[in-house]
Structure 1
């Protein structure tokens, strides 16, 4: 995954801040774009908080990921055909491990945030369940096109993928994990991720 995509995902995580949780009960009636915009409104709450320790930022990032990302939908697409063949406990374990991988991967990029913002272009809702929201991340005078892929749950719209420069988060991780999945399925991938997390 090139340097742009991790940075953009970190920006996305920063945009989904706890300040937006005050209105969480309203999100089930909001459009995908409104949900994203609500999250952006809370950006400065975390960005300007100079009193927040590194550990507090990690805790908040984990909570943010759990709140606004649909890791089950994400995991199904990353694991692809092996998902159907896997045991329920292996699926649940992967969801937990992968969420930790995401937090660890992007946590170190928090200090690279430099005032980026989001420009909303249009949204497309399909079958009243899936949505694509086209945006630009405005960063240092550049416009980075980003497509947010979202799924509707009872509590509202949740992100399960995003596409930057034609490459999605899901497809990037799918490519990375495919060799292990071919060798030993989801159980082998869980073992590999457990070792990876333990060594960090």
Structure 2
């Protein structure tokens, strides 16, 4: 995927949750538990978004977003999926470092979009699920004035009684698959996973010190 297209997809991903407040309470009452998780996260973010003084402090935004998103996203499952075959050959230290830096990448990118975007409306596709299901795809459409609806599907699984997100598919493009391709190319170019993690850590530190710019 070209960088421009990937950047567009990521922008949609990190911004789409911010518009879920548009879903009315009567509709929210009819949502299934996995859908309610997405709604709850979005409500918390949307409420904070109204505080313009809060959004001016990027470090504060990152801390808040991390606290909200991490509760409902299983980075321990996502990290191995993103690295693919390289996860199995990585040392324990490399696995831990990659998981930490990848989570930082996701959170800081989300935080930047959290400050910039709010003009979204979400439509949940009706979801039927049995009581014993442990994996589900929550389908939604992101609506924006003057634009075609964007299909966004959340892959979620039941982890010790809680529904967790482990992938997002936007217009058929998987976030996990997209990042796996990117990191695989970087590992081949740089010659090692360790070098890629070092580079990611450096970019994270620079972005955070520059307030996510």
Q: TM-score interval w.r.t. the shorter chain?
A: 0.7 to 0.9
2:61 & 2:174 partners in 1: Cα distance?
25
- Over residues 133-187 of structure 1, what are the superposed CA-to-partner deviations in whole Å (9 max), with x where a residue is unaligned? 1100112243111011112111511111111121111111111111233464432
Q: Match of 2:41?
A: 39
Rounded Cα–Cα distance in structure 2 between residues aligned with 1:108 and 1:161? 20
RMSD: 2.7
Structure number with higher strand proportion:
1
Counterpart of 2:202 in structure 1 is 195
CA contact (8 A) 2:139 2:152 kept: yes
1:37-70: per-residue Cα shift (whole Å, max 9, x none)? 3333435311212231423222212222322211
Q: Of 145, 158, 162, which residue of structure 2 is paired with 1:156? A: 162
Summarize the Cα distance change of 1:76–1:91 in structure 2 as closer, same or farther, 3 Å threshold.
same
**Structure 2 unaligned spans of 5+:** 22-31, 208-213
Q: How many residues align?
A: 188
Tell me which residue corresponds to 1:77.
81
The verdict on how the C-alpha distance between 1:102 and 1:180 changes in structure 2, with shifts beyond 3 A counting, is same
- The two structures have a TM-score, normalised by structure 2, of 0.75
Q: Give the CA deviation at 1:16.
A: 9.0
TM-score for the superposition, normalised by structure 1: 0.80
Q: Does 1:172 align with 2:178?
A: yes
Residue of structure 1 aligned with 2:63, choices 53, 59, 62: 59
